[in-house]
Structure 1
Amino acid sequence: MSTQKFDQSQLDVAVVGGSIAGCATAIRFSQMGYRVAVFDKKAMNDQSHKRLCTHFIQPHSVPILAELGLSHLYEPDSSVLTKAVFVTPGGVVEGPGGYVPGPPDSYALNLERRVLDPALRAGVRAQGVQYLDATTVERIEEDDSGWILDTSNGTGSQRFRARLVVAADGRRSRLAKELGNATESHPNERAALFGYFSGIKTRPDNRSVFIMNERDLACVYPLVEGRTQLVLFADKARVEGWQGADGRLQEFLNYFDGLPNAPSMSDAVPETGLLGYSDYPSQIRQPVSGSIPFVGDAALSLDPMSGVGCGFALVSADLLARSFADRSLDKTDLGDGLAEYQKRFEDVILPHAEGICGDSLVDKNEASRRRMFQAISGNQELSQKYLALTGRMLMPGEFQRDLMRALMSRGAAGLKR
């Protein structure tokens, strides 16, 4: 715990929003020696966490947890080390065994938010950051020396000054509305349902299985203590007739029981009711608006079927911190740091968004999908690149070039026969 003494209303960095991206940003800037505070409008206790999340931490973002001082979350009492197996219309796509950090054997984490969220807040406080929950930023105003933040916490108000304000206030970002950072929305034609179960016998190697069924995606995530999370992203028309809590749960389990490569549901015991949503369009905003950077869902909130929410929250915070690693928060350096963050965001994160938004549309060209996945599953190198793409360790453009070459090669081979 830091013993640094300073006027707590005078900050270097004010982070608005205290979820994954906000906490990660606060820790990173505090590690660089800045005076940081986090403002979150929700009241938090030691168990507070987000519940509407599949909490799959993709391989590209797993190393960031260690950089935040949270390497204990890799331990088996906190998370399950896992890799993806895709059951596709053209075959099974699966990586090599073993759980060794770094490519080509990089792994994901099934890390529940009930564990991750409190750990991040504890990490923030251990770093000496002020974490002000139940505190709303009512108004912000910029002057020559930085930002003025007027806040309220239900019992009174307080004014803070900061040289940098970071918007980490989520999908419904109030700062985006106040600053005119417009939301670009893309339709999502699938509904989502998920629940937690005991009694399901998953794979002994702790693989997370993703089963493509027509244009649905059914996911089986092994969790700590032998529990399992089942998630279904389905054409809205498929699930709209599943009525009533008990009836919907039974239809949900029947659906999984009828899938190839899914574990049996015969002994499944629900720990919770089904959670989910019927409409969740993807949202994209500018990563910098004026002189305020946006991170996490405030910048990019995509179709949860892609599983990028937690990872992109960590990565965007990391990209922002790296953009200021060798800079001060003086006016010139501030502008250069924001420009670098915008470029990093556009180069590293945005290329994935187009494909994710495209996958949110339930098209009917099954023959093309089958040919694509036959090419992927039939080529070991391409299979590994597909897994790297879905783990966000490979840029979409590189994968698309290799896929097109493979499809053309298969087509040429067919003509020769």
Structure 2
Amino acid sequence: MTQPESAGHDYDVVISGAGLAGSAAAILLARRGVRVALLERRADPEAYKVLCTHSLTASAYPVLAELGLVPALEKAGAVPNHARWYTRWGWIEPRAAPGGPELPYGYNIRRSTLDPLIRSRAARTPGVDLLLGHQVTGLVRESGRTLGVRASTPRGEREIRARLVVGADGKDSAVAKFAGLPARLHENARFGYLAHFRNLPLRDGIAHAWFLEPDMAYAFPNDDGVTVLAVLPDKKRLPAFREDLEGSFLAFVRALPEAPPIDSAERTTKLIGTVNYPLHSRKPTAPGVALIGDAALTGDPLWGVGCGWALQSAQWLAQAVAPAATGRGDLERSLAAYARTHRRRLRGHQYLAADFATSRPFNPVERLVFSAAARDAAMARHMHLFASRLIGPLRFLNPLALAKASAVNLRHRRAAATTAHPPGKP
């Protein structure tokens, strides 16, 4: 059982990392009566993550609503992230059913806007102390259990004790390392580069993604008229791509089907990228420790799910541990509940993403579903729910959906055969 209220603790919870996951967790925990120290190694309150898809999936919308951020995001110019996807069978273009509700959506918004916004919201939340310039250098441990952190600060080393330490410090998490939670790595056989552009119009003003098998690309419209444009080619292309990085990037984009008019747009950032970005998976808990966001699981950038999962994992943690974090429950049982939720909600998605990150072409089931989604409005909506991470792989590929996809493709083949050989003609 946990120790009595405030016995030997400076805070109930210490969170390392004041990005999306950490700031969201701090807000949600504090609103539940938890005293939170939110540590951020960078001293600048306007600091933000640079290498990012800048997209919040629709699955995270309930978290944004609970945080009260939706009006602020819309005021800041966040763009609802409706999308269309190119495949060899044509474009998948999800649209609301006639007379039906609007399709669920999240937002595209640059991290330079989003990170300071949510961090300042955390700093103003009663019960949260935002401690800038604090970098975790170790964990306070007794009898195999974590009881706080050691941190370097602008005033020297400091020890902060708490019932729970939360690692929200990214894929290279120091908290995970100190807690002995190694990462399982999944190779990513694609590399990626992105840049921000102004005056880059996209059809219907919505996001575009290109499944080129094995290469990928996407264009996401963001706040302030900025579009994030990314290319993710197979690593086999890397040596030639590197010979002329900028020229290769431009040539790749120009060759896309319905390519955005990149030559008439204004590039506002340098090319940002990585040639080695494996997918990470870690056990999200240890005694007295929890991991959220990229510290627990780093997805493939091509799917744009990391920001959404950061917010969702923060919510799952707050819901599971808040009572125990204040001394009113069994913390280890609460952490186990969080780990189960994390595993149940994300393991299937990560399995498929890791498999696709091998840079393979579509497998037979994917060919069946993607081709049907390019030909049928209901299947396109089904694809939208999965891409938005509102349904998991089991629902996405359930027998009824596969039967529907088979019927759609059979009708398409029959119609094509009739067009090629009209009745009564040899």
Same-fold call, TM > 0.5? yes
The structure 2 residue matched to 1:375, chosen from 369, 372, 375, is 372
AA of the residue aligned to 1:88: T
Per the alignment, residue 165 of structure 2 pairs with 165
Per the alignment, residue 3 of structure 1 pairs with none
CA distance in 1, matches of 2:158, 2:9: 8
Q: Tell me whether 352-361 or 160-169 shows the greater mean CA deviation.
A: 160-169
CA distance in 2, matches of 1:146, 1:369: 44
Extract unaligned runs of 5+ from structure 1: 1-5
Per the alignment, residue 60 of structure 2 pairs with 61
Q: Does 1:238 align with 2:244?
A: no
Give the secondary-structure state (helix, strand or coil) at the position aligned to 1:141.
strand
Deviation of 1:242 after TM superposition, in Å, equals 2.9
**Deviations, residues 90-136 of structure 1 (Å, cap 9, x unaligned):** 222122269xxx97611121111001110111011110311112212
The structure 1 residue matched to 2:340, chosen from 321, 340, 343, is 343
Q: Tell me whether 208-217 or 110-119 shows the greater mean CA deviation.
A: 208-217
Q: Tell me whether 250-259 or 193-202 shows the greater mean CA deviation.
A: 250-259
AA of the residue aligned to 1:353: Q
**Deviations, residues 188-213 of structure 1 (Å, cap 9, x unaligned):** 0001010011232223x321011122
CA distance in 2, matches of 1:304, 1:242: 19
- Contact conserved, 2:140 with 2:161, CA < 8 A, in 1? no
Query: Which residues of 2 match residues 8-407 of structure 1 at below 5 A?
Result: 10-46=10-46, 48-96=47-95, 105-128=103-126, 129-143=128-142, 147-203=147-203, 205-243=204-242, 247-324=244-321, 327=324, 329-330=326-327, 332-364=329-361, 370-401=367-398, 402-407=400-405
Q: Tell me whether 32-41 or 404-413 shows the greater mean CA deviation.
A: 404-413
Tell me: CA distance 1:228–1:353, structure 2 relative to 1, closer, same or farther (3 Å): same
- Contact conserved, 1:83 with 1:208, CA < 8 A, in 2? yes
Deviation of 1:296 after TM superposition, in Å, equals 0.6
Tell me: CA distance 1:163–1:290, structure 2 relative to 1, closer, same or farther (3 Å): closer
Query: Percent of aligned pairs with the same residue?
Result: 29
Extract unaligned runs of 5+ from structure 2: 1-5, 418-426
Deviation of 1:325 after TM superposition, in Å, equals 5.1
Per the alignment, residue 420 of structure 2 pairs with none
- Contact conserved, 1:90 with 1:372, CA < 8 A, in 2? no
Give the secondary-structure state (helix, strand or coil) at the position aligned to 2:45.
coil
CA distance in 2, matches of 1:8, 1:326: 18
**Deviations, residues 136-175 of structure 1 (Å, cap 9, x unaligned):** 2223224489714322214322222211111212111122
CA distance in 2, matches of 1:95, 1:233: 23
- Contact conserved, 1:193 with 1:277, CA < 8 A, in 2? yes
Deviation of 1:403 after TM superposition, in Å, equals 4.3
Tell me: CA distance 1:107–1:410, structure 2 relative to 1, closer, same or farther (3 Å): closer
Tell me: CA distance 1:393–1:191, structure 2 relative to 1, closer, same or farther (3 Å): same
Q: CA RMSD in A?
A: 2.8
CA distance in 1, matches of 2:166, 2:67: 18
AA of the residue aligned to 1:71: V
- Contact conserved, 1:90 with 1:371, CA < 8 A, in 2? no
- Contact conserved, 2:77 with 2:224, CA < 8 A, in 1? no
CA distance in 1, matches of 2:104, 2:14: 34
AA of the residue aligned to 1:194: L
Tell me: CA distance 1:92–1:139, structure 2 relative to 1, closer, same or farther (3 Å): same
TM (norm. structure 1) is: 0.89
CA distance in 2, matches of 1:364, 1:339: 37
Deviation of 1:51 after TM superposition, in Å, equals 0.7
Give the secondary-structure state (helix, strand or coil) at the position aligned to 1:349.
helix
CA distance in 2, matches of 1:374, 1:105: 21
- Contact conserved, 1:295 with 1:317, CA < 8 A, in 2? yes
Give the secondary-structure state (helix, strand or coil) at the position aligned to 1:181.
coil
- Contact conserved, 1:36 with 1:130, CA < 8 A, in 2? yes
CA distance in 1, matches of 2:37, 2:248: 46
Deviation of 1:372 after TM superposition, in Å, equals 4.0
Deviation of 1:25 after TM superposition, in Å, equals 0.8
CA distance in 2, matches of 1:183, 1:150: 22
Give the secondary-structure state (helix, strand or coil) at the position aligned to 1:363.
coil
